[in-house]
Amino acid sequence: MIMEEDTRVLYYWGPLLQCKPLITSSSKYLLAALESAIRVFSTDTGNLIKTLKGHSNEIVGFAPVFDKEDEFFSCDEYGKICHWSLLKDVKESNLMKEYQLKSLNTKKDKAVVATFLVKGSAAEFIVGVGKDTGKLFRYTNPTHKPVVLEKCAKLGSNKVAISHHEDCVIFLTKQHLQVVSLSSSKRASHHTGVNEITCVMCHPSKMSIATGNCIGEVVLWYNLFKEPIKQSLHWHSLPVADMAFSNTGSELYTGGGECVLVNWQLTQNKHRFLPRLGMPIKYVITDMRNEKIICAHLDSAFTVISAKDYKLCGSIQGVSMSIDNMEPYPAGLTYDPRTKCVILNGRSGHVQFYDIHHNKLLYQLDVAMENYINPERNIKLYNSEVEKVAISPDGSWLATLVYRDDFQSSREIRLIFWHFDTVSQRWTLNTSVHMPHDNYVNEITFMPSSKSENTAMCVSCSDDGKFKIWEVLDNSDIYKQSSMWGCRSIGFYRHLPATSASVAPDGSLIAVGFASILTIWTYDSCHLKGTLSQPYLRDHIRQIEFGRTENCSSMIVSRSDNWLCGWNLFTCSLSWKVTISSTCMAVDPLSSYMVVFSTTRDAYIFEPKSNLVYTKLENINNKSTLCAAFVPRLEKSTSKLGWTDESQLFIIDEAQRLKLIEPKANLRAVEAVIEGVIQEFAQDTVGTTPFSTLVAQTRVTDVAVDKSRQLGSAAFGVNVQNSSALLQKVLDESRVYRLDTFTTLAKEFCKLVLPEATTSADVEEEEDINKRIKKEESEVVLQRKSVKKKKKQNLERGLNSDFSGLLSILSSDDS
Amino acid sequence: MDEFVIHNVRFYDYEPRAIQCMSYEEESYRLALSRSDGAIEIWNCQNRPFLQLVLPAESDASVEGLAWCDGRLFSVGLHGYLIEYDLSAVGVKARYAVTGGPTWCLALSPDKKSLAMGTEEGYVCLFDVGSDDVLYNKTLEKQEGRILSICWHNGGNHIVTGSINCVRLWSLMDGRVTRCSFVHNKREEIIVWCVAILDDMTIISGDSRGSVCFWNGTLGTQTDYVQSHKAGVLCLAVGSDQSFVIVAGVDPTIIRVSLAQTGGKKGRRARWIPTVKLRVHTHDVRALAFTNEGKLYSGGVDTILACSSYPPKVVIKTPTPLYPGYVSLGRQSDCVLLRYKERLELWRLGKPRVTGEPQEMFHAIEEDRQKLVELHCKEGESIDWCALSPEGFWIAYIVKGHLKILQFFPPTLDRQVSIRRVRALSKEIDTSRQVMWLGEEQLVSVTTKGTIQFITISDMEATVESTLTPRSPVQSLASSQDGKVLVVLDVNQGVTAYKLESGQEITLPKYSSPVVSLCVNPFTYDVLIAYSDSTIKEYSLRTKKYTNFSTNFLPSKRVHNGLSQLVSAVRYMSYDLNNGTLIFLHDDSSLLVLDSAAVTEYDDRYMPPNKITRGNNKSNKQNISGSKSPTRNSNIGRLIAFPRLHQVLFFSHIRDKNIISVEIDPVALHDQLPPMLKVKKYGGV
C-alpha cells in the first residue's frame, strides 16, 4: 500500500548559530535564528518564550532598533526584512512591518550577511551577496536600487561591522581593512598583514574598531581615516571567534576555541578570564544595559554571564548540536522508556537526554569523563566521542561506547555500562570495559525481552570479526550486593567483520551480520543456527531488525547501503528484497511498522512481513536523514493513519536539525487507507513452489534434514528412525559454528549407515529401489532442470528488472 | 691563493659592560654612551655605526647623565661633579662641583646655554655654558627627596623633574613649583625613573610600577595612564613630532605609546595607547635615544647597542666591539698580548701538526698554546693601552698616561722566561695615551698634548728621537711593517702619511664618510682606508693617486659588492705580510678576505659575492668548533666571506701562513649577565 501524503514536518530543534544572535534592548530576550524562524528566549530563565514566524527563508541578520524597546529587524537570504516588536500589548502579531529589498528576490543570489544602521524610523541596510566573497550593497531605502560598496568583500558573520557612532561600515577585502563612511565620502584602506582577520567589531562610542585574527591577537585600531594606530592585545592562541564591546566601550569581551571568555579592561590594561565554559565559543553578545553577556557555543548552547561580577548566571540550551562536527550523531537517536525522552550525542564525550515531548533538555551525562581538549593552532586534536548508545528495555541499564582514534597512537575503545540508581535518580557508572573489541565497534544492543535488571543482556559486534554477548554477573561480597557486566560468549564467522547485530524480541535468537551474510545464533548456547545470504547481496549489512509484533515476529529485515531484504526465519529464505539506497532505518517498538530513509530524501513506511510500502513520504526534508527513531506517544493519537497511532517519528538530518515527521491526515489519504489501494512499489514476484523461490544459497541445517527424510522414505532396510538418529549424531558432533560442508557430512553418514545394510534381499530390493530412484531421480533432474531454467530466467529478470522496474514505478509514482 | 692556518683564540675573556646612559648629537651624528664601569664611548652613526673613540674609565668614575652641547660632552655622576671632556685629547677637560652631592641626571636647555642637573639631596643646579667653560648659575629651591630624572621644556622656562612618589614642574621665571603626586599606598613607593615634557605642557613620566603616566602640567593632574610594562620603566624617548613616546625598562620590551584621537561626536578626546612592541634586548634597557631621522638607539644591561626604526620594523644589533689597544700582535712572532683591566697576558699560540694532506678541517695540535707572562699593575690602577713589538721581544703599556717598557726574553731550552724593565726613561717623554711599535727597540707614542714622539731604546734606556706635531689631534695610527711609513688619522678625519726616512708628509684626499680603519701595505706602502659607509679606498703614496685596484674594484658608492652588503662597519683591516696582495678584514659577525691580485688579473669579471659566500659556508661551518683549520679558497677571486656564529673581535694575519681570529661566544657572554626579568610565557620555557 502506498499513499502520497502531505507530510507536516515540525521543527523541533536545530543549530541556532546561523547568524549572530541578539539581545533585545530591554535585555530580557535573546533572539536566535533557526532557519526561517526566530526563537525568543528569556535571558533570565533560559526558557523558550515564543517562536516568531514571518520569513520563509533562512535568516541572515538581526539588528536592534536603539530607541524603541524590544524592537528589531531581521533579514532573510532573499532580502525580506521584517520589523518586529516584542512588547506584550501587541497581541495579534509581533510583526510590525515587512519590506522586500529590491533586486534581491531572485533565487540565484543569496544574501550571506546583513547588518543595519537604524536611526529612528529611517534605516539603512548593508547586505552582502555571494559565498565567501561577494558584493556588498548599501540600501538607503528598501525600494530603491542599492549602491555597491565593494565588489569582492569577504563575507561571513563578524566580517562586516557597522559603527553606529560614526556612520561608517568596516569590511574586509583580500588584504585590506576598508573603512567607508556613510555620511561623507571618506574612505580608508589599511593593510591587514599576514595574519588573516577573523572578526571585526566597532566601538560603541569611540571612533575605533577591534579586529581579531587567526593567531589569536586582538588589535584595536584608532585614527582610522589617517595613519592608524594599532594596539595589540594578545592572549588567545587560537583564532579569535568573536568579540563584543560592553555598551560603554570600556571593556571588550573575546572568545574562541579555548572555551575561555576573556574580558579586556581597556582603560586599565588588565584582563580577566572566565574559563572552562565547556565548548568553544562562537559568538559573544553583550546587551545595552551592561547587565549580561551571552556566549554562544558551538553546540548551540548559550551561557549567560552576569557582567557585574563576571560569573555564570544561567544557560540557555536546547538540543546540543555541535555544528562543526563532520560526522554528527554517530550514536543516533535512542528512546529512553524510563524518562520518555531520547538519548543522543551531546557535547563531545557526553550524551544528552532530551525530553522530546516537552522540548526540554533534561541533562547531559558525561560519559567519557575527560576534559575537552582544545585544538591547537595547526593541529587537530581528537577528543573521545560517544559512538554508540544502547539502553535496556526497562531503562535501568545504559551501555555507551567511547571511541578515540587520533590516527597516531593506538585506538582507545571503552564500553561503559551505567546503572540508573532509582534512589538518587541518577546514572551511576557500573562497569567500564577497556578495549572490549580490537577494532571499531559497529553496534551495541540490548536484549529487548529482559524484564528485570539482573537478566539484562547486551550484544556488541565489531570490525575485528567478533560479536560478544555481555551479561550481568553477580559481584556481591560480604559488604554489599552488587553486580557487574562481563563477557559471556564470543562468536565469529569466517573472519568477516561483524557489521550489525540484533536480538529477537523474545530473546531466543541473535541475528548478526557478518559483512554481507546474515547469521542466526542461539542466545543460550551461542550456536550458529543458520546463515542467510544471496550471491548478489554484496553490501555489508548495516542494520538488522526483527519484526516486533506477533504477525511478523518470524521476519528479519536487514538493511545494507543499497538493499533492503526481508528474511523469513521459518523457511530460512529471502522472502522479499528491494533495492533502495538508504541512510537509516527505524522500528516502531509498539507496532509492526518500520521506516527506511532513502538517499533521495524519501521515507518509506512498511511492515516486515511483505515488501509492500505502507506509506511513502516524499521529499520529507532537503537534507538526507542521519538517524531516526520512533518515540511512543504520551497520548493515543486519534488519527486514522495507522502507523503514527502509537509512536511519532523523529529524525535528525545532515544539517543537524531534529524534526518530528507527522503526516497530515487528509481525507483522501484516509479514504485510500480504507479502500486499501495497494500499489506495488518495487518487487520481484515470489513464487509458490519451494524451488521456484530464490532459495537461500546455503541452508545447511534445512538441507540436511530434507535429505534424511528422503532416505527415510526410501526405506531400504535401514531403520528410518535409526538413520535420522545417526544423522542427528553426525550433526551434533559437528559444532554449529564450524559446520562442515555437506559432502563431508554425507561421508560420515554413509560410514555409519553401510555396516547395517548387508542382506541379499536387501540387495535385490535395493537394486529395484535403485532403479526406481534413478527413474525418480531422472524425473527430478528433468524437473530440476526446468526449475533451474525457470529460476535462471527469474533471476535474470529479477536482476534486470530490479532497477528498471523500480525506476519505472518510481517515475509513475512521481507522475 | 695560498692556504692558511687559522688560530681561533677563544680564551680571551673580554667583558663588555652594561650601557648606562646615552646622548645623541644630531649635528655630528655622534652618540655618546657610558658603560657601567664609567667608560664613555663615542659612536659615529653617520652611516653604519662604529666606535670612534673611547674615554677610558677612571677609578671612581660614574656616569649617570650625558649631554652634548655644540660638540662638547658633559657628564654627571654620583661623585658629585659636572665633568667636561676633551675629545681631542681623550680625557677630562674640567670638573665642576655640583651643590647637593651625588648627581643623578643632566639636561641641556633647548637654547643650549644652560645645563640643569638633579641631585641626591633634592637640589636642581643650573650651570651656564660659556664659550670655553661652564659657570655656576643658581640652585633652585630645595625639595624633599632625591631627583632622579630631569627634562627641560622646549620653551626654556620650565624644568620637569622626577623624584620618589612625585613629579615636579619648576617654573624658572617665577620660581613656582607644581607638584604632581602619585596615588600610592604607603608601603610601596613609586620611583619616577624618567620624565619628559611636550610642548603643550604634557608631562610624561615612567615609574617603577612599569607604567607611563601623562600629566597636565599646568594643573598638575594625571590625564592618562598606560600600564605598558611588567616591571619598572627606566627610560623614555619622545618622538620627533611629539605624537608618540618610546618607553622601555626592566621589562626589556620597547613600546611605542602613541597619541590617538578616540573621541566621538560628543567631543574629541586624545588618548595615549601602547602600540608597537619591539623585543630587541634580553635584559633591562637603561637608555634610549631617538634621532630626527627616526632611528632609535637603545642599550642596556645586555651590553648590545641596538638601532631600530619603524615602519618598517628594522633592527640592527651591534655587540660591543673590541676597544683599541686591547689586543696586540707580534706579527713576526707568534705571540699575542691580551689586555685586561688590571693585567696583561702574553700568550704563545699553539702549533698545528701539518701532515701535508689537509683533508680534515681541523689540525691536530702538536704544541699547545702557552701563557708566557702575566703582568699585573698596581692596585687601584688600570692599564690604558698595550703594545707588543713585531718580533715579540718588547712590551709597552700605559698606566695613567705613564709609559712602561719591558724587554721580554722568551723561554729557550736552557732558560726560563725573564723580563727586564726599562727604567731609564728620558724626561722628554710626555704622558702618552697611545703607543705603537715601529720595529724592535723603536716605538711611537701619541702624547696627551697631541704630539707624536718617536722613542728609541738602546742599552735599556729610552730616549725621544724626534717629535712630530700634526695639525690636528691624533685619533689613531698605522704604520708599515718595516716602520718606514706612518699614517695618522686626526680627529677631523684627515689622513696624513709620513715617510719617516725622507720626512716627506703626504696628505690624503678627504672623503665624505668618517674613517673606520686604516692600514699600510708592507711592500708598496699603499694606504688602505675603510670608511663607515663600507667604502674602501687604496691610495698609492708613490703616484699620489688612488690605485687601479681601488678605482676599479673596491666598493664605493657606485659599485656594490659583498662589502657593501655588510650590516656593520669594518672593524679592522690588515695586509698579509707575505706578498701584500691579500687584505684581511672583519666585522662583528664575519671574516673577510680580499684578494687584490686576483682582482687585478680579472678586474672586469665581476663575480657575484653572495655566491662565493655561500660556497664557503659549508667548509666554514665545520670550522667553528675547531681551533685551527686551513681555509680552502684557492681559485676563488676577490672577496671571500666567512660568517661566524661567534662575535669576531680581532682578525689579522701573523707570520707565514697563519691567521689569528679572536672571538667570543655570545652565549658565554650572556651567561655572565645578571638574570633577566622572568616573564611567564604560554607554552614557552
pLDDT digits (tens, 9 = 90+) for B410-439: 888 888 888 888 888 888 888 888 999 988
Are B329 and B215 within one domain? no
Which of A202-206, A406-410, A699-703, B547-551 is predicted least confidently? A699-703
Average pLDDT, chain B: 84
Pick one of 1.10.1060.10, 2.130.10.10, 3.40.640.10, 3.40.50.80 as the CATH number of A18-154: 2.130.10.10
Region A463-492 average pLDDT: 90
Question: pLDDT by residue (tens digit) across B121-177?
Answer: 999 999 999 988 899 999 988 888 899 999 999 998 999 999 998 999 999 988 888
Region B205-212 average pLDDT: 92
- Asked if B262 lies within 8 A of A207 by C-beta distance, the reply is yes
The nearest CA of chain A is from the CA of B317 a distance in Å of: 25
More confident residue, A234 or A156: A234
pLDDT of A778 reads 78
Question: pLDDT by residue (tens digit) across A712-765?
Answer: 333 344 444 455 566 666 555 544 444 555 666 666 666 665 555 445 566 677
The nearest CA of chain B is from the CA of A251 a distance in Å of: 15
pLDDT of B620 reads 35
Is the pLDDT assigned to residue B605 strictly greater than 50? no
Q: Which residue of B has its CA nearest to A207?
A: B262
Are B229 and B81 within one domain? yes
The contacts of residue A185 (CB under 8 Å, 6+ apart) are none
Which domain, by its residues, includes B339? Answer: 5-9+322-352+365-456+472-671
pLDDT of A722 reads 53
Q: Does residue B639 fall inside a structural domain?
A: yes
Q: Does residue B112 fall inside a structural domain?
A: yes
- Asked if B260 lies within 8 A of A166 by C-beta distance, the reply is no
Are B504 and B381 within one domain? yes
**CA distance linking residue A508 with residue A329, whole number of Å:** 31
Q: Does residue B303 fall inside a structural domain?
A: no
Concatenating the DSSP letter of every residue in A445-486 gives EE-TT--SGGG-EEEEEETTSEEEEEEEEE---SS---EEEE
Cα dihedral across residues A408, A409, A411, A416: positive or negative: negative
Q: Which of the four pLDDT bands, split at 50, 70 and 90, describes residue B555?
A: low
Which of A448-462, B72-86, B593-607, B651-665 is predicted least confidently? B593-607
**CA distance linking residue A13 with residue A106, whole number of Å:** 28
Q: Which of the four pLDDT bands, split at 50, 70 and 90, describes residue A698?
A: very low
Nearest to B275 among A230, A237, A270 (CB): A230
The greatest distance separating any two alpha carbons of chain B, rounded to the nearest whole angstrom, comes to: 96
CA angle A433, A436, A438 (to 5 degrees): 145
Chain pair A-B, CB pairs under 8 angstroms: 40
Q: Does residue B113 fall inside a structural domain?
A: yes
Average pLDDT, chain A: 80
In chain A, which segments carry CATH 2.130.10.10? 18-154, 158-322, 334-675
What are A377-385's contacts with CB under 8 Å, separation 24+?
A377/A215, A377/A216, A377/A237, A377/A238, A381/A406, A382/A406, A382/A407, A383/A348, A383/A349, A384/A348, A384/A349, A384/A412, A384/A414, A385/A330, A385/A345, A385/A348, A385/A349
Interface with chain B: mutation pick from A202, A221, A222, highest number of B CBs within 10 Å: A222
- Asked if A207 lies within 8 A of B277 by C-beta distance, the reply is no
CA angle B560, B561, B563 (to 5 degrees): 105
Q: Which of the four pLDDT bands, split at 50, 70 and 90, describes residue B495?
A: very high
pLDDT of A723 reads 54
pLDDT of A743 reads 63
More confident residue, B406 or A670: B406
pLDDT of A693 reads 39
**CA distance linking residue A584 with residue A628, whole number of Å:** 7
**CA distance linking residue B117 with residue A408, whole number of Å:** 68
Cβ atoms of residues A696 and A51 within 8 Å: no
Task: Please say which residue of B196, B220, B238 terminates a domain.
Answer: B238
Task: Please say which residue of B211, B238, B265 terminates a domain.
Answer: B238
pLDDT of A788 reads 72
Residue A180 has phi, psi (to 5 degrees) of: -125, 125
Is the pLDDT assigned to residue A807 strictly greater than 80? no
Report the topology of domain A158-322. Answer: Methylamine Dehydrogenase; Chain H (2.130.10)
Nearest to B262 among A208, A237, A269 (CB): A208
More confident residue, B622 or A738: A738
Concatenating the DSSP letter of every residue in A33-56 gives EETTEEEEEETTT--EEEEEE--S
Q: Does residue B273 fall inside a structural domain?
A: no
Query: What is the CATH code of the structural domain delimited by A334-675?
Result: 2.130.10.10
Interface of B with A in 242-281 (CB under 8 A): 258, 260-265, 271, 273-277
- Asked if A269 lies within 8 A of B277 by C-beta distance, the reply is no
**CA distance linking residue A502 with residue A387, whole number of Å:** 17
pLDDT of B581 reads 84
pLDDT of A707 reads 38
**CA distance linking residue B499 with residue B480, whole number of Å:** 10
Q: Which of the four pLDDT bands, split at 50, 70 and 90, describes residue B636?
A: very low
Which of A77-91, A694-708, B100-114, B246-260 is predicted least confidently? A694-708
Nearest to A231 among B263, B264, B273 (CB): B273
Chain B hits for A237, CB-CB cut-off 8 Å, are: 682-683
The nearest CA of chain B is from the CA of A211 a distance in Å of: 14
- Letter string b/e over residues B573-612, b meaning 16 or more CB atoms within 10 A of that residue's CB: bbbbbeebbbbbbbbbbbbbbbbbebbeeebeeebebeeb
Which of A78-87, A364-373, A559-568 is predicted least confidently? A78-87
Chain A hits for B682, CB-CB cut-off 8 Å, are: 237
pLDDT of B626 reads 36
Joined grid coordinates for residue B572: 679592522
Is the pLDDT assigned to residue A445 strictly greater than 90? yes
Which of A111-115, A400-404, A499-503, B256-260 is predicted least confidently? A111-115
pLDDT of A678 reads 34
pLDDT of A282 reads 92
Are B437 and B545 within one domain? yes
Interface with chain A: mutation pick from B243, B275, B279, highest number of A CBs within 10 Å: B275
Is the pLDDT assigned to residue A779 strictly greater than 90? no
* Residue B66: CATH number of its domain: 2.130.10.10
Q: Does residue B600 fall inside a structural domain?
A: yes
Q: Does residue B297 fall inside a structural domain?
A: no
Give percent of chain A above pLDDT 70.
79
Q: What is the DSSP letter of B308?
A: E
Nearest to A237 among B258, B263, B682 (CB): B682
Residue A75 has phi, psi (to 5 degrees) of: -135, 135
DSSP alpha helices (H): ranges in B340-405? none
Virtual torsion, Cα A564, A569, A574, A575, nearest 10 deg:
-80
Q: Which of the four pLDDT bands, split at 50, 70 and 90, describes residue A810?
A: low
The helix-helix angle for A700-714 and A742-753 (nearest 10°) equals 30
Residue B227 at interface with chain A, using a CB cutoff of 8 Å: yes
- Asked if A206 lies within 8 A of B265 by C-beta distance, the reply is no
Q: In what order do the strands lie in the sheet with B30-35?
A: B19-25, B30-35, B40-44, B50-55
Are B63 and B156 within one domain? yes
- Asked if A269 lies within 8 A of B261 by C-beta distance, the reply is no
Of the ranges A16-20, A426-430, B265-269, B503-507, the best mean pLDDT one: A426-430
Are B225 and B327 within one domain? no
- Asked if B262 lies within 8 A of A237 by C-beta distance, the reply is no
Interface with chain A: mutation pick from B209, B244, B245, B261, highest number of A CBs within 10 Å: B261
The nearest CA of chain B is from the CA of A252 a distance in Å of: 15
- Asked if B275 lies within 8 A of A229 by C-beta distance, the reply is yes
- Asked if A207 lies within 8 A of B273 by C-beta distance, the reply is no
More confident residue, B23 or A640: B23
Q: Does residue B289 fall inside a structural domain?
A: no
pLDDT of B459 reads 83
Region A55-69 average pLDDT: 84
- Asked if B273 lies within 8 A of A165 by C-beta distance, the reply is no
Nearest to A232 among B263, B277, B683 (CB): B277
Are B204 and B337 within one domain? no
CA neighbor of A733 nearest in space, from A751, A718, A717, A720: A751
Q: Which of the four pLDDT bands, split at 50, 70 and 90, describes residue A321?
A: confident
Of the ranges A113-122, A711-720, B111-120, the best mean pLDDT one: B111-120
Nearest to B260 among A223, A268, A269 (CB): A223
Count of domains forming chain B: 2
More confident residue, B21 or A762: B21
Nearest to A205 among B260, B264, B682 (CB): B264
Are B192 and B335 within one domain? no
Task: Please say which residue of B201, B220, B238 terminates a domain.
Answer: B238
Question: pLDDT by residue (tens digit) across B349-402?
Answer: 888 876 666 556 777 788 888 888 898 988 888 888 999 998 888 999 998 888
- Asked if A229 lies within 8 A of B263 by C-beta distance, the reply is no
Are B377 and B234 within one domain? no
Are B484 and B612 within one domain? yes
Question: pLDDT by residue (tens digit) across B75-112?
Answer: 999 999 999 998 888 888 999 999 888 999 999 999 99
pLDDT of A746 reads 67
Is the pLDDT assigned to residue A787 strictly greater than 80? no
